[in-house]
Amino acid sequence: MSAARFAYRIGPPAAIWLTIAASSSVEAFAADATITPEKQVQEQIKFPAEPETRAAMETIRRRVINIHTLITHRRLPVAGAVQFGREVDADMERVSQVRQALHQHNDPIVPILQRIRQGATTIAHPTVERGQVDGLVDVVSALETYGATFDHPGWQRLQQQ
């Protein structure tokens, strides 16, 4: 088979493939026009954090640092765990009130607060399926997400205390 015939045979499918690839990239570009949390992390775009939000998140971070070793060494008393859960809920309620007054919908802190609440509840009331360490992992990952998503000068990861 000659090279000309081979090029003719491969030509139309390649043209179809290029057309499909071009149309999907246009759709991807159009879908990419909105800012998603993943895109934010990739492009280092951060949402502003109000002073009240910063203070409450700093307080939650300090509370986690205080109980981290007790949880990992399995020495956190039940009363301490319940108190931690109550204190974190109060801090999150302050953040929710401040953010709710400023942002009507699609507030990027909502999933972070939900993850913190889930982790704090697990720490305060562990089950057979989810122990205190699982709750600690939830809270720590939520705090990491907060630091990556919001502009909080001086924010440090828990390991950088």
- What's the angle, vertex CA 70, arms to CA 68 and CA 72, rounded to 5? 70
Same domain, 11 and 76: no
pTM over 0.75: no
Q: Residues 7-18, buried b or exposed e (16+ Cβ, 10 A)?
A: eeeeeeeeeeee
Per-residue pLDDT of the chain (161 residues; tens, 9 = 90+): 555 554 445 555 444 444 444 444 444 444 444 556 566 556 667 888 889 989 999 999 999 999 998 998 888 899 999 999 999 999 999 888 888 877 767 788 889 999 999 999 999 999 999 999 999 999 999 999 999 998 888 898 887 76
Same domain, 67 and 128: yes
Task: Please tell me the distance from the alpha carbon of residue 76 to that of residue 74, in angstroms, as a whole number.
Answer: 6
Task: Please tell me the distance from the alpha carbon of residue 146 to that of residue 1, in angstroms, as a whole number.
Answer: 62
Cα-Cα end-to-end distance for the chain:
70
Same domain, 29 and 46: no
Same domain, 7 and 83: no
